[in-house]
Structure 1
């Protein structure tokens, strides 16, 4: 046996001895007694996490978690996802960046805050959000990948990881969007709402905080389906869900609000994007009712301005639906006119095909 072969044999034996010791440590405590199953799983997860890092030297080190984060870096969820860092926190839930331990891909994981997790209404809404996202497919809606359970029983929604900032953050730091950006935002979000409404659902909280700009207005994504509901139905055990500042007049009158309520909120959002500031329309029912008496100028001209003003009509039946908003802003009629002007003689579209 050559010296190289002998060295390889010795190294293999050393690795085998260490692995045997690791297996023994996972199954038994320091006194040689079998570990309880929950403890054994924790030790196994820690060992696997260390092996994951050895197998992938390029894996970035986990950043320190926020002081008040409820899931620490390297926490394992359902033996599948390793927590990397917290990337968002709201009044009800937290968002973490997690990494699939086998596939190495990064995702976002949404979990209720511990102080909210015992509320049965919120727990039910959290699961309803996962069901809604799994039934929707649109480029401007994040895809839900799975619904898992953390060790403490909290449901975890695993979805696509979005990179960017919210519209609210953009308006605070950079001011209003340019007119073409507002138009792109309108088309993109109208498309998302069309998909939501076609599924018989209402988003219920269309606001600048719930729109992510992933690469600009063209990549706008509607997020936070935490109060999603069936169209025309109120959420059980919830008097009002969403934000008073974006509530439609019919919601302020005590009705659940269907798809037109989402379109009213879209009109307010587009006005905010054009003005560079939130359109302040109240923090409770009384102040919101008073604010609806005289809406501020959205500061949008042309065809888009007309669409926004139609979205903000008091009568929900007078507002265009999401499909109509897309059609009115898509330039379809202009493109057909250009086709007619450039088409060879005898090739005009049949009148019944024109919108």
Structure 2
């Protein structure tokens, strides 16, 4: 019987046979074997995606990428629509040219784990993590649509607006810190007012978040976050706790007051208290900061 296989078919089959024997030998424990097989699958996914003709605008056969809304150094964020439900979502993924880079993949998987552990009305919901055809992870989150940074350019704020924004921020930070994390990237770019409603503002983007007591260089990052909002201890690469986020909240409050239609001395005093360079001179935690703001002790979960 004639052999009609391509010339390199037998070589590929032989190499695969060697690989399969290596994976299934006695040298590896069952757990290690499973991990190695998954790595092989991941490599095959990336290779197949380079050869295939699948529509890159469709993710997991379920989401249509409608618009690129953010293109950062290592990651991109798209507005996406579910093909069956019609619901909008934000999908974050490493840039295509970083598909083979393990660092963005590791950080995004870690971001997914942190996001999935947090459920609060003032935190953007992480919904699921997908694997793209080329092996990149894709983080699916709820879609909000507007950023506080954009709204600040559109209209001035009243002291009531500022208080409402900071109340939402402190409630969100309280939940983040209670779960054992530090956000490390609090700024108007990562604060999303749902429907433009400041009382429903949500904290987004846990890409550089840390467990309390950790520092970024433990994850091979010399520095992470925005320098204009980072605390002195974050800039110095020291271990961080929730007071680092409170420093950023103080700078945020000062920025909001610069957009305010009238002066409020109590809010100005709180901004100064929050942004003390010595962490020991800041409020102990977000709940204490909320008390200084004069906010409610407890906001209903559904508001």
- The reply to whether TM is greater than 0.5 is yes
Which residue of the partner structure matches residue 18 of structure 1?
none
Q: Is the 8 A contact 2:223 2:235 kept in 1?
A: no
Say which SS state the counterpart of residue 86 (structure 2) adopts.
Answer: coil
Which residue of the partner structure matches residue 103 of structure 2?
121
Distance in structure 1 (CA, Å) of the matches to 2:278 and 2:248: 14
Q: How much has 1:332 moved relative to structure 2?
A: 5.2
Which residue of the partner structure matches residue 191 of structure 2?
211
Distance in structure 2 (CA, Å) of the matches to 1:138 and 1:325: 18
Distance in structure 2 (CA, Å) of the matches to 1:239 and 1:300: 39
- Listed as ranges, the gaps of 5+ residues in structure 1 are 1-37, 47-70, 278-298, 334-355
Structure 1 or 2, whichever has the larger Rg, is 1
When residues 90 and 219 of structure 1 are mapped into structure 2, their CA distance, relative to the original with a 3 A threshold, is farther
Distance in structure 1 (CA, Å) of the matches to 2:111 and 2:131: 15
Distance in structure 2 (CA, Å) of the matches to 1:331 and 1:264: 18
Which residue of the partner structure matches residue 242 of structure 1?
225
Q: Is the 8 A contact 2:215 2:237 kept in 1?
A: no
Q: How much has 1:227 moved relative to structure 2?
A: 0.3
Which residue of the partner structure matches residue 274 of structure 2?
311
Taking structure 2 as the reference length, the TM-score comes to: 0.73
When residues 331 and 248 of structure 1 are mapped into structure 2, their CA distance, relative to the original with a 3 A threshold, is closer
Which residue of the partner structure matches residue 290 of structure 2?
326
Distance in structure 2 (CA, Å) of the matches to 1:310 and 1:304: 10
Q: How much has 1:308 moved relative to structure 2?
A: 1.6
Does 1:264 find its partner at 2:234?
A: no
- Listed as ranges, the gaps of 5+ residues in structure 2 are 1-47, 298-303
Does 1:157 find its partner at 2:157?
A: no
Measured on the aligned residues, the alpha-carbon RMSD in Å equals 2.5
Distance in structure 2 (CA, Å) of the matches to 1:167 and 1:115: 30
When residues 135 and 311 of structure 1 are mapped into structure 2, their CA distance, relative to the original with a 3 A threshold, is same
Does 1:190 find its partner at 2:173?
A: no
Say which SS state the counterpart of residue 114 (structure 2) adopts.
Answer: helix
Which residue of the partner structure matches residue 232 of structure 1?
213
Q: How much has 1:169 moved relative to structure 2?
A: 2.1
Which residue of the partner structure matches residue 179 of structure 1?
159
Taking structure 1 as the reference length, the TM-score comes to: 0.63
Deviating beyond 6 angstroms after TM superposition, the runs of 4 or more aligned structure 1 residues are none
